[in-house]
Structure 1
Amino acid sequence: MSSFSSKRREQFLNEEPSSVRRLGLHEDIADAQLLLDTSLGKEGFREDGWFAWNWAIASAKRRLLVHSYSDGSPMEHLAADFPGVLAAQEPSSLPHPLHETEPFFLEELDSYHYAMTFLSLAKLLCRDDLVPRVVALFDVAYTDNRGKDALYEALLGKLGLPTVPAKGMLRFLKAHPLLLKAIEAEPRKRPLFVAELLKKWYPAMKGTAWHGLHDKIPQSFDGYWAFEAGLVTYLWDIDDSSYRDLPFYPKDLVDYARTHGAVASPDTCATLAAQDGPPTSPRSGEACPK
């Protein structure tokens, strides 16, 4: 077994495509930054160019961070890189005095995945100071995003941030209800729900821009990770021994947080006090009965 195969975290990642992909992402960042820097202030500079190049930089940096986790890069390097990834995302997502930006809408599966990824990475990489800045990305569309997903609101509450009652609603019902059930279950039953989530997570993410990329030639994917499963595991201090080796579970991130972060908050369902119970509705966006 090669040294790459022994240290990689993503089972579908191969050494040569991984090296090509990493180099390509670095080149994408450099090219977009050069175009942005040389075009600002020039006559004929297009408004959509400012957004497109900032978004390209942010997207490549975000993918590079996920790729770095997948290929086995040291956790300390990821923690050091995360602030730059977040800072790159802010120009194209937060309101700007001169340029038009585009907020994240959590009713879109890609954006929902981004929200779960950013929140999870901030907390599990022990960058609690950056969690409010992550939430600010999604609060730009506050009316559209808040109070419409019980899992998202429960995570914010557990992170010590203000919540909006979601009345038992969830955006996506193929897998994520299992995480809400894990939160609400008695501690000994929680691992069962997280394990089931991990088994259903990848099929449930069909429709995202990155789904199925491991089968494309040339291989250009960065890794498949249910980061939110790691976040719930850490925040609710769930015993992950029964599912830590399942695909898509970011066990090294959880281990890093448990070793380097603050002690997980006491076991409680207080953050769900305003919720109406686990979702069972078959339609996304509808209130789910108890």
Structure 2
Amino acid sequence: MPSFKFDTVRRQKFLPEEFFLRNLLLLQGLIEISYNSIETLKIEGNFSPTGQYQIFKHRLNLVKLHYTAGSDIGSLIALYRDVVDAVRELTAAHREYVKYLEMKTGDEMIKNASFFRLEDPEMYRMALDVACLGFLLGDGDGLRQFVRCLEAERGTDLLFESIVASAVDDPRDNTDFFHVRPYDSLLDSFCSAETDKEAADYMNAFLKRWYKDFDGMPWHNAHLKPASDNSYLPYFGYWAFEASAISIIYDIDDTPFRDHLLYPKDLADWARANHSLDHVAPGATSLANNYRCEAGHPCPTSGFWSTPAKNGSRQYFKQGTVMPAVASEYGATIWQWDRDQSDPSLS
């Protein structure tokens, strides 16, 4: 992607093209290292899900990085499913670790323990990111899989339950919440506001304090801290995904605050245009079905597709075309909506 084009499509100004490419390689490498570390730790007698947690974090950062860089929204769905898969692997490993601790100590543990403790501010923020991305991308199946991994935390937080309510069979009605900062204004936008203007004012207040209230987090000001050798930038994007999710769920007009740097307006617009609220409902068709296709099945959406089974596989398919198989060690060929939907012949 030429630099002049990258500068026009990126969604936050803090990400230069060179660091997008370096960060992309970094995250992919860290995921591979983390997978390798899992078996190594077990051999050493360490059964904690450290490697699985790192894989989850890196996959979530990949979604943010691609969104920040200006990738086509549809291409994020396959990356989001990778996040959900990572959560499921993390949850399984965490529960096995809990069983191990129970046997070792003799103490009774929570059987369906969730790795994500919502009372922890950073765990909570990441859980909100995953829930909001699933909702905004219209991936009800993926969102429900994520929520099942947090069963032990269900019904404990008003904001989390408000975001997932439309996607689950068992919405929980509660008025408690864990974190005042920075979320109180966001909660007020749908719990206290009596007019559209009040709702927008609360949302503006939330966005204005969001970044400041996270001062002290490891990722705060990361855009100013490149590695000493400039090999990467520990910044993948600053996004208040919960603001756009709540705006759609409660039909809040985002016109007064949509241009705020932290508000993911492109994602909000895509979610509205594609009726994500309808697609996340139980029994509805997930939008993920339109942006992921196995070989041998008809292409669901006209556009550029690629498969991780083959480098340089990007090509254009018309809707209805049978997707071809590619010989590789991956097994079944899975085609994914490509992040770049521009026509190279027009560049």
1:30 is the counterpart of 2:32: yes
Give me the whole-angstrom Cα distance separating, in 2, the residues matched to 1:95 and 1:53: 10
CA contact (8 A) 2:63 2:80 kept: yes
User: Match for 1:178: what amino acid?
Assistant: S
Deviation by residue 1:210-258 (Cα, 9 ceiling, x = unmatched): 2221121232111101010011011112111111110110111111111
1:150 — aligned with what? 158
Label 1:126 to 1:163 Cα distance change in 2 as closer, same or farther (>3 A).
closer
Report deviation, 1:186: 3.1
- Residue aligned with 1:119, SS: helix
1:199 — aligned with what? 208
User: Match for 1:46: what amino acid?
Assistant: G
Give me the whole-angstrom Cα distance separating, in 1, the residues matched to 2:241 and 2:60: 14
User: Match for 1:26: what amino acid?
Assistant: Q
Deviation by residue 1:174-223 (Cα, 9 ceiling, x = unmatched): 22111111113235132221111111111112233322211212321111
1:180-219 equivalences under 5 Å are 180-184=187-191, 185-189=193-197, 190-218=199-227, 219=233
Deviation by residue 1:54-89 (Cα, 9 ceiling, x = unmatched): 222222111111111111111111012211111012
User: What TM-score, normalized to structure 1?
Assistant: 0.79
Give me the whole-angstrom Cα distance separating, in 2, the residues matched to 1:162 and 1:244: 32
1:93 — aligned with what? 91
2:309 — aligned with what? none
Give me the whole-angstrom Cα distance separating, in 1, the residues matched to 2:172 and 2:277: 25
2:147 — aligned with what? 135
Structure with the bigger percentage of strand: 2
Label 1:93 to 1:161 Cα distance change in 2 as closer, same or farther (>3 A).
same
CA contact (8 A) 2:15 2:69 kept: yes
1:228 — aligned with what? 242
2:71 — aligned with what? 73
1:12-27 equivalences under 5 Å are 12-27=14-29
- Residue aligned with 1:47, SS: coil
CA contact (8 A) 1:156 1:162 kept: no
CA contact (8 A) 1:109 1:207 kept: no
1:50-61 equivalences under 5 Å are 51-61=49-59
Label 1:158 to 1:191 Cα distance change in 2 as closer, same or farther (>3 A).
farther
Label 1:197 to 1:155 Cα distance change in 2 as closer, same or farther (>3 A).
same
Label 1:264 to 1:204 Cα distance change in 2 as closer, same or farther (>3 A).
farther
Give me the whole-angstrom Cα distance separating, in 2, the residues matched to 1:240 and 1:128: 23
2:10 — aligned with what? 8
Label 1:102 to 1:161 Cα distance change in 2 as closer, same or farther (>3 A).
closer
With 192-201 and 169-178 compared, the bigger mean Cα shift is at 169-178
Give me the whole-angstrom Cα distance separating, in 1, the residues matched to 2:202 and 2:268: 17
Report deviation, 1:104: 1.0
Label 1:251 to 1:217 Cα distance change in 2 as closer, same or farther (>3 A).
same
CA contact (8 A) 2:114 2:150 kept: no
Give me the whole-angstrom Cα distance separating, in 2, the residues matched to 1:187 and 1:132: 32
With 177-186 and 26-35 compared, the bigger mean Cα shift is at 26-35
Give me the whole-angstrom Cα distance separating, in 1, the residues matched to 2:148 and 2:97: 18
Give me the whole-angstrom Cα distance separating, in 2, the residues matched to 1:126 and 1:79: 9
Larger radius of gyration: 2
Give me the whole-angstrom Cα distance separating, in 1, the residues matched to 2:92 and 2:121: 20
Label 1:263 to 1:146 Cα distance change in 2 as closer, same or farther (>3 A).
closer
- Residue aligned with 2:150, SS: helix
Aligned residues: 256
CA contact (8 A) 1:234 1:264 kept: no
Give me the whole-angstrom Cα distance separating, in 2, the residues matched to 1:150 and 1:15: 39
1:120 is the counterpart of 2:132: yes
With 125-134 and 187-196 compared, the bigger mean Cα shift is at 187-196
User: What TM-score, normalized to structure 2?
Assistant: 0.67
CA contact (8 A) 1:94 1:103 kept: no
CA contact (8 A) 1:67 1:222 kept: yes
- Residue of structure 1 aligned with 2:266, choices 252, 255, 273: 252
Unaligned runs of 5+ in 1: 266-290
Percent identical residues: 28
User: Match for 1:3: what amino acid?
Assistant: K
Label 1:86 to 1:149 Cα distance change in 2 as closer, same or farther (>3 A).
same
